[in-house]
Homo-oligomer: A and B are copies of this chain.
Amino acid sequence: MEALIIHAPGDLRVETYETPPVGPGQLQVKVSAGGICGSDLHYFHHGGFGTVRIQEPMVLGHEVAGTITVVGEGASGFKAGDRIAISPSRPCGQCRYCQEGLQNHCLDMRYYGSAMRNPHVQGAFRQELVIEAWQAHKLADHVSDEEGAMVEPLSVALHAVRRAGALMGKRVLVTGCGPIGALAVVAARRAGAREIVATDMGDFALRKALQVGADQVINVAEDPQALQAYSADKGHFDVLFECSGNEKALRGALDALRPRGIIVQVGLGGEMTLPINAIAAKELELRGTFRFHEEFAIGVDLLNKGLVDLKPLISASLPYRDATRAFKLASDRSQAMKVLLNFN
């Protein structure tokens, strides 16, 4: 079979890769769709992010769906032909954090397509994959493989939303409407938000945010002071999902947050200089969020039941052999939200 392997910045190759045997409790899967994530783009453009760098060739990808081809011994509940979304998260189950139910902080995590440990954990952009049965989640007939591949970023957004606590009746601001920001709009709306305002620097992203449920959008490149309208009486929003990773976005939102407002920091953005006095005096809460755990199964359920609609966020699906073109398209925020690879 073939896989998409990153060798160095800009050097992404389609190469032959071996399919491992199917062990007990495992499934062999024919991968059909794979979504390109921001971290894939970072590996592609820069060879990594922060202190993480590729040290050896690595199969990219962790947002995938496919069809089961072989069912290993004891992998009950599945049969060949089942269409599934595949969770890329493989915590150890034994460490102190796994035993506390914090699997996303596992001390021995093996997450597809990540150079955070050495040797790297090989990714899922390949034609065939052998997985543990507990990574597989069946898709309903009306859900496409492309939507199935969207479950992973949806899970990230669902986890972020759960980090904010109950949203029923809350006023929500989302800064940064890339795929994760747009999915935060979807998830916050599903969780009962009373009002959702979304900001971005680009109109394409904002149109998508409106399509998936935002009440109002603001282009902060065109109108940098627009959020000031929300600062009367110490602020308006109960919750901010900061999805841009941009210091200016976070700073610019502080006055619009009411006392005790919650900031869920979703975007990764290196160092930020923040007015700590303002955070202290308004008793704001800045909460990190990282990946997900049980939200993957939740995301599949919501999708299968038609309780979320991710189709507006799928911009294009290209053959995996056109990966370089696909990665370039995915990097263009003026015309692409989520770009998928087709492995059929």
A residues at B contact (CB < 8 Å):
50, 93-105, 107, 158, 161-163, 165-169, 187, 189-192, 194-195, 215, 233-234, 245, 259-260, 265-277, 279-290, 294-295, 298, 301-302, 305, 307
Contact = CB atoms under 8 A, between A and B. Distances in A.
A281 B103 CA distance: 13
Contacts of A282: 105, 288, 290
A192 B163 CA distance: 14
Nearest to A280: B288
A270 B277 contact: yes
Contacts of A101: 99-102
A166 B298 CA distance: 14
A168 B163 contact: no
Contacts of A298: 168-169, 194
Interface centre among A192, A290, A298 (most CB of B within 10 A): A192
Contacts of A215: 305
Given A288-B284, A301-B194, A166 B165 contact: yes
Contacts of A99: 93, 98-99, 101, 103
Copies in the complex: 4
B283 A285 contact: no
A266 to B, nearest CB: 7
Given A162-B166, A270-B277, 4 more contacts: A93-B99, A105-B260, A158-B168, A270-B275
Nearest to A298: B169
Given A168-B190, A169-B298, A301-B194, A286 B279 contact: yes
A102 B192 contact: no
A295 B169 contact: yes
A62 to B, nearest CB: 16
B93 A94 contact: yes
Contacts of A189: 307
A276 B268 contact: yes
B287 A283 contact: yes
Contacts of A271: 273-276
26 contacts: A93-B94, A96-B233, A102-B259, A104-B283, A105-B259, A107-B234, A158-B168, A158-B169, A161-B168, A166-B167, A168-B190, A168-B298, A189-B307, A195-B301, A245-B276, A266-B280, A269-B276, A270-B276, A271-B275, A273-B274, A274-B274, A280-B288, A280-B290, A283-B289, A283-B290, A285-B288
Contact of A272 (B166, B259, B273): B273
A192 B194 contact: no
Contacts of A195: 301
Contacts of A190: 168, 192
Contacts of A307: 189
